[in-house]
């Protein structure tokens, strides 16, 4: 397997992410490609200073039972679990009503999210509370936050202005910011310039299960980003997760597709396999499309019938 290793040529003038796109260049502008062999079938995902083996991240809401939630997290083989800070008790570690205390936080990384925040100020407050909760789980060095600023109660679409404002503040305070955004290529580049660790464009409205309705814009984001692109929201099936990964997405975050399925743990396993298949296919490199048929069998050196 191969992955791209970017090497800047000496004649390249450093550009911001936005300027790189504005001047009409590709993400490889001034960049020479080298390909290095991978020792393993699957490469690791780096977010901030942390490395993860799994590229699937799970939410923790909407499960019918806590047993379903725990089993799904285990079957998914995910390493990042996101939780809405507003839903958590103040004393998370000693709480007996929430299944989160039953998870193995030596193997999992908590990703607090600011869901329910309608303004940048609310999201910033939730981010700091999220860090305090991570500390309760023994992750004192965890400054990760999934940034959500959603002022629209009907369609639940992210507020780009509020997201930018909160992201700039949190990055300066040392947070590893993973912003949830509309599939807006320019917004993604602005957030990258601010120092966000990833960008997380939605595939379709959250909880809708409509799949990858914003495929063209997601592809543009992937092509121009130099930070991981995590497709978040709207994915409903393993094949949709595979499609996103085949495009070059670095990871998938989802919740409803598993929590609301008939057999959540089985769906978690299926989506895990879909994410892995998509990543392997992307790394392997797709065959070139042709506009005409081409026989699989050669015309020469074919055994003759005597």
Q: Which residues are catalytic?
A: 146
Q: How far apart are CA 42 and CA 249, in angstroms?
A: 14
Q: How far apart are CA 29 and CA 12, in angstroms?
A: 8
Nearest in space to 200 (alpha carbons), one of 237, 254, 155: 254
Interstrand relation of 2-8 and 56-59 (parallel, antiparallel or unpaired): unpaired
241: left (phi over 0), alpha (psi -120 to 50) or beta: alpha
Could you give phi then psi for residue 83, rounded to 5 degrees? -135, 135
Q: Are 61 and 73 in contact (CB under 8 A)?
A: no
Q: Is 263 helix (H, G, I), strand (E, B) or coil?
A: coil
Question: How many other C-beta atoms can be found within 10 angstroms of the C-beta atom of residue 57?
Answer: 27
Q: How far is CA 291 from CA 284, 285, 294, in A?
A: 22, 19, 9
Q: Is 274 helix (H, G, I), strand (E, B) or coil?
A: helix
């Amino acid at each position: 397997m191969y992955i791209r290793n970017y090497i800047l040529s000496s004649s390249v003038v450093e550009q911001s992410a936005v300027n790189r796109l504005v001047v009409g260049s590709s993400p490889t502008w001034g960049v020479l490609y080298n390909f290095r062999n991978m020792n393993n079938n699957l490469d690791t995902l780096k977010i901030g200073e942390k490395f993860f083996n799994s590229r699937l991240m799970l939410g923790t809401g909407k499960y019918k039972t806590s047993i379903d939630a725990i089993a799904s997290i285990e079957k998914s083989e995910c390493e990042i679990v996101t939780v809405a800070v507003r839903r958590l008790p103040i004393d998370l570690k000693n709480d007996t009503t929430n299944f989160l205390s039953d998870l193995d936080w030596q193997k999992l990384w908590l990703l607090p999210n600011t869901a329910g925040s309608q303004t940048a100020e609310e999201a910033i407050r939730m981010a700091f509370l999220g860090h305090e909760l991570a500390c309760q789980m023994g992750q004192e060095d965890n400054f990760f936050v999934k940034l959500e600023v959603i002022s629209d109660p009907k369609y639940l679409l992210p507020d780009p202005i509020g997201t930018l404002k909160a992201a700039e503040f949190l990055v300066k305070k040392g947070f590893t910011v993973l912003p949830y955004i509309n599939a807006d290529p320019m917004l993604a580049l602005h957030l990258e310039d601010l120092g966000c660790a990833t960008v997380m464009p939605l595939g379709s409205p959250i909880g809708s299960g409509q799949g990858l309705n914003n495929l063209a814009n997601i592809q543009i984001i992937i092509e121009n980003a130099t930070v991981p692109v995590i497709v978040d929201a709207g994915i409903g099936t393993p094949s949709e997760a595979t499609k996103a990964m085949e495009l070059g997405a670095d990871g998938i975050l989802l919740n409803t597709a598993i929590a609301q399925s008939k057999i959540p743990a089985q769906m978690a396993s299926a989506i895990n396999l879909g994410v892995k298949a998509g990543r392997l296919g992307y790394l392997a490199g797709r065959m070139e499309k042709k506009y005409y048929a081409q026989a699989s069998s050669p015309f020469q050196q074919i055994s003759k019938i005597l």
